[in-house]
Amino acid sequence: MPASQPRSRARDRNNVLNRAEFLSLNQPLKGNQESRSSGRKQSGQAGAAGAQNTNPKERRQSQQLPEEDCMQLNPSFKGIAFNSLLAIDICMSKRLGVCANRASSWGGARSMINLLGITGHGIPWIAGTLICLVKSSTLAGQEVLMNLLLALLLDIMIVAGLQKLAKRKGPYDINPGLLDYLTMDTYAFPAGHASRVAMLSKFFLNHLVLAIPLRILLVLWALCVGFSRVMIGRHHITDVLSGFVFGYLQFRLVEFMWMPSNTCQMLISIW
């Protein structure tokens, strides 16, 4: 027995796996395990503390990011059709904006197109209606002019309200003019000039006796003023078309709210 013990000790000494550098392969050191476990605990505690210290808004945003960044793989047919029509509208409006700036293909005609647009602005029409109302001496003329003034004021308020709700910008980054700010015509949808000329042309066609050439010229004037807003880059095509529709609806509203002659005389006497 005493001789076998020195032999076993010598065998253990000669065993390569019993060396210090290979000892961890057989039996990991307790100190390493404790250090690793303590490090994991500390990192876990630090992560929990960091999660508690984070802002609730950041945690909410981190939870919502996967849903926000996900791609809609099965869009509806209505969504595809709407986006396609919107892309076509923007592309065609940019192509037709030939007077959007001086560097455009028709940049030299920009001043003339702007002058055509002024003929459909609300401020000159309101001022002209007031002047004609002061100089008018017939009851029928005063009745028509008072209802025309009501139609112009309604057009400004309705278009301004719809533009504030939609807040759609034009195809080009063009700042509105001073007259546009006065009538609150600062956004693109619907086109205020288009709604106004559509309402005015329908109003004159119904309440004035005009020859056929004048009636045709009146309709052409309304179309030219409406699409001139596309040429200078202030509105899209759909903005102008919707403006024509709203102008017709405004005319129907004024016809429904038509003020008789005695009401007009009472308002004139108060004024």
By annotation, the residues acting in catalysis are 193, 235
Q: How many CB atoms lie within 10 A of CB 199?
A: 28
3-state secondary structure of 107: helix
The rounded distance, in Å, linking the Cα atoms of 90 and 93 is 5
Q: Which two tokens stand for residue 88?
A: 């076509």
DSSP assignment of 159-193 equals HHHHHHHH-PPPSS-----HHHHHTT--SSSS-HH
The rounded distance, in Å, linking the Cα atoms of 160 and 195 is 11
Q: Which among 179, 172, 61 is positioned nearest to 125, based on CA atoms? A: 179
